[in-house]
Amino acid sequence: MTSSRKESSGRLEIVFIDSEPPDVGGGGIRTYMRLALQACRDAGVAAMVYSHNPLAYPGERSLPIGRKPLPAPLRGLAYRICYRENIHWEHARWLGAELAAGDAPCRVYEFCDYQGYAFFALRNPILKARVLVRVHTPHFLIAPVTGKNPAQWPARLAAWREKDCLIRARHLTVPSAEFVRGKLPWLGNWTYVPNPVPPLSADPASLLAKTQASLPDSVPVSFPDFPPLPGADPGSDWVAAPDKIPESAERPPAVRIMPDRFLYLGRVEERKGILVAIRAFLRLAPEMPYASLTLVGAAAPGPYAEQVRALVDSQPPLMRLRLVWEPPCPAEARPALFRRFTCLIVPSLWENSPYTYFEGMASGLHCIGSDCGEMRAAAQATGGLLARPGDEEDWLRIMRAHCLGAGRDALAAQASFLSGRRKEIPGLMFSAYRRAAGAAEAGGDRTIPSPA
């Protein structure tokens, strides 16, 4: 076992537990931890992370998560009954032992995403007072177990383990109060601490100018050409929309046609609602011949992704130039990816606090999403466009509204919203960490710093 023991210095230290699989992705959970680690560094607070892929945190102090098997007779039985769920138990047992071996009085342990990893740490009388659980997207909500099929008992056990950790934890933080009230109404004793947000890629004025700029050279040549205005320079990038061309010879005001490039970024799975958005786009496409939709992400196992693939592949050749599905994009390539688009869509059926939405805002994209979770709070603060989750008509409405210019003024508001959160969130984060650290000390620890 790799020990991380250190002598207590009386200073706050945060230990993050990343339960994401060992691939290079990790989605919003790893984005959260990278930004949280950066916030610790900016505040002069020591921090480290345990992960199945320490290489996902370059420049950070990171250690691999190991396994602590059950005793010999039970181990063989557990492997035979359900190998995968047993591996989760072994990781949780290893973490409980590892954290106890390297414990120090002012250490706070934050378990992110899969709460079941905190099972043994929360049963340790020394650690439990300083274990903080951050509620992202509990797995039992994504894959609920229904019926009484005996083959489902390992999944039932995993769901019980995760719920038990949520109930047992003394310190819970949630990035969306809306999500917890709607999806986990039985959960109490939680504190609202929004996710740290990425830095802006430019100042608000530059972001607004970028999106308002014309991009005629990027329009695929196979798209239908609009006829020029009467008397207009054939080489001009000023054109008229079809419904603006009058029957009379009078010249109407010029209308700049801007290619609206919609981006969906994330896993293609049922909860993400992308099928509804694709159908809305296919209805929008004849009205807006310069619009396109690109999906970027991996296909989740199961029939839903196959249904999405079949719908995309069934389109005629010209439409296939406007409706594209690309492979997943690593975190370091996302800035270049965002520069190719003008609008990010997040059509999820339900969400907690989707990082893709805030990354798009920080990159200067107009972000439109479902009316759920933290997207609701962000849209209400910025004047962004929202649609009812899973409602094709409503998604057609807001995608059409975006193409007609609605919400473009929200870009400056989005930048202002993110700037405000970047100032506000570190204080909320460290306040929660100090409460967890102080809960184990009589009257708290006066040596724990208060980061600016």
Confidence of residue 211 (pLDDT cuts 50, 70, 90): very low
Q: Which fold has domain 13-169?
A: Rossmann fold (3.40.50)
Q: What angle do CA 244, 250, 256 make, to 5 degrees?
A: 35
* DSSP letter for each residue of 17-40: EE-S-SSS--HHHHHHHHHHHHHH
Residues 6 or more apart whose Cβ sits within 8 Å of residue 328: 25, 296, 297, 298
Mean pLDDT of the chain: 81
Confidence of residue 170 (pLDDT cuts 50, 70, 90): very high
Q: What is the pLDDT of residues 21-71, one digit of tens each?
A: 887 566 788 889 999 999 999 999 999 999 999 988 988 999 999 998 877
DSSP tag of 193:
-
Confidence of residue 254 (pLDDT cuts 50, 70, 90): very low
CA-CA distance, 30 to 93, in Å (whole number)? Answer: 22
Task: Return the higher-pLDDT residue of 320 and 332.
Answer: 320
Confidence of residue 367 (pLDDT cuts 50, 70, 90): very high
Whether 19 contacts 111, CB under 8 Å: yes
DSSP tag of 191:
E
Residues 6 or more apart whose Cβ sits within 8 Å of residue 150: none
pLDDT higher than threshold 80 for residue 234: no
Task: Return the higher-pLDDT residue of 80 and 436.
Answer: 436
* DSSP letter for each residue of 229-272: PTT--TT-S-B--GGG--SSSSPPPPB-----EEEEES-BSGGG
In the chain, ranges of CATH 3.40.50.2000 domains:
204-415
A 10 A CB-CB count for 292 gives 24
Q: What is the pLDDT of residues 135-156, one digit of tens each?
A: 988 888 887 777 777 777 777 8
Task: Output the pLDDT for position 74.
Answer: 65
CA-CA distance, 311 to 305, in Å (whole number)? Answer: 10
Determine the 3-state secondary structure of 385 from DSSP: coil
Tell me the CATH number of domain 204-415, given options 3.40.50.2000, 3.40.50.300, 3.40.50.620, 3.40.50.150. Answer: 3.40.50.2000
Quote the tokens at residue 261.
């490039």
Residues 6 or more apart whose Cβ sits within 8 Å of residue 369: 345, 346, 347, 348, 351, 354, 357, 375, 379, 384, 386, 387
Task: Output the pLDDT for position 79.
Answer: 62
In what helix (H) or strand (E) does residue 336 lie, and over which residues does it extend? helix 334-338
Task: Output the pLDDT for position 216.
Answer: 38
Quote the tokens at residue 181.
């009230």
Closest CA to 69 of 152, 1, 19: 1
Whether 359 contacts 31, CB under 8 Å: yes
Average pLDDT of span 112-136: 91
Closest CA to 435 of 422, 445, 447, 425: 445
pLDDT higher than threshold 60 for residue 442: no
Residues 6 or more apart whose Cβ sits within 8 Å of residue 280: 392, 393, 395, 396, 399
* DSSP letter for each residue of 261-307: EEEEES-BSGGGTHHHHHHHHHHHTTT-TT-EEEEESPBPSSHHHHH
The CA-to-CA distance between both ends of the chain, in Å, stands at 36
Q: How large a percentage of the chain has pLDDT more than 70?
A: 79
